[in-house]
């Protein structure tokens, strides 16, 4: 593999600056394990007022937004009385290119799921990937054909677009005998990825891998994310670079 200090995004090498609540204000397409919605964050004096609009439930939910709890670019969205929970907490980190969006993990009844929020139009994820929104139409919940089977290594195989910084990257994952193998490419430079083996304590939809051969770092960047279980067209979580997590998500291309 070709490597070089200038090819892995420099924005992921520097310590992020602190973001205040006003920097979070805006409208985000919001995806919780594949369920689409819209997060509206508006300035209200020194604070912000937030609403999560759920297309799944057809309702608006007041939300609380906090920043800086686990680092200068950490964000929490707390939604009381949502999704069969007293409150659902979405804990994430902003992308390396600032407040254009964030991604991370949410806990639902003891199970971890990925989510991401990005300043873009709702449902864009489904138009781009060619899959159907999980709450489109009437009748029983539509399910992507891959969702009927148990999640195994093959569920992650394919081509993915990577979004966790200002420049685009791609990820190719191959289902080889007994393991997943792959390549992360950015700015024309490929890096081999080492996919972690199954973790008995982790859910089957979790994906973790190291990006190998990145110059100037003591340890390889590690991506940890969760495959959207309905439909299986995205993986959302974080990439840890030199001990600093950044929001990151993958969307399926093929």
pLDDT tens figures, 45-94: 889 999 999 999 999 999 999 998 888 889 999 999 999 999 999 999 99
Over 50: is that where the pLDDT of 38 sits? yes
Q: Cα dihedral sign for 87, 89, 90, 93?
A: positive
pTM of this prediction? 0.85
CA R_g for the chain: 18
The 10s digit of each residue's pLDDT in 184-231 is 998 788 999 999 876 777 888 999 999 998 888 889 999 999 999 978
**CB hemisphere CA count around 133 (13 angstroms):** 17
**How far is CA 76 from its chain centroid?**
14
- Share the mean pLDDT of the chain: 82
The per-residue pLDDT for 139 is: 28
User: Which tens digit of pLDDT belongs to each residue from 236-245?
Assistant: 999 998 888 9
The whole-number pLDDT of residue 167 equals: 62
Instruction: Check if the beta carbon of residue 105 is closer than 8 Å to that of residue 93.
Output: no
Q: Name the more confident of 80 and 176.
A: 80
The pLDDT score that the predictor gives to residue 199 is 75
* pLDDT, position 130: 46
Summarize pLDDT for 109-162 with one digit per residue, the tens: 999 999 999 987 654 555 544 444 444 332 223 334 344 347 877 889 999 999
């Amino acid at each position: 593999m070709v490597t070089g200090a200038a090819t892995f995004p420099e924005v992921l090498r520097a310590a992020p600056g602190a973001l205040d609540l006003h920097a979070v204000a805006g409208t985000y397409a919001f995806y919780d394990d594949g369920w689409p919605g819209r997060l509206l964050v508006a300035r209200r004096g020194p604070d912000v007022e937030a609403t999560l609009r759920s297309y799944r439930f057809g309702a608006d939910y007041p939300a609380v937004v906090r920043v800086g709890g686990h680092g200068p670019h950490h964000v929490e969205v707390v939604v009381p009385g949502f999704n069969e929970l007293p409150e659902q907490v979405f804990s994430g980190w902003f992308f390396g290119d600032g407040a254009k969006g964030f991604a991370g993990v949410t806990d639902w009844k003891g199970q971890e799921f990925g989510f991401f929020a990005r300043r873009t139009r709702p449902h864009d994820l489904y138009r781009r990937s060619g899959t159907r929104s999980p709450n489109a139409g009437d009748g029983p919940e539509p399910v992507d054909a891959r969702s009927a089977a148990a999640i195994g290594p093959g569920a992650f195989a394919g081509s993915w677009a990577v979004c966790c910084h200002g420049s685009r990257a791609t990820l190719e994952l191959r289902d080889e005998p007994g393991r997943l193998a792959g390549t992360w490419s950015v700015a024309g430079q490929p890096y081999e990825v080492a996919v972690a083996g199954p973790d008995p304590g982790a859910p089957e939809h979790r994906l973790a891998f190291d990006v190998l051969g990145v110059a100037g770092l003591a340890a390889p960047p590690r991506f940890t994310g969760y495959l959207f279980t309905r439909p299986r067209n995205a993986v959302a979580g974080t990439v840890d670079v030199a001990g600093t997590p950044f929001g990151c998500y993958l969307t399926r291309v093929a």
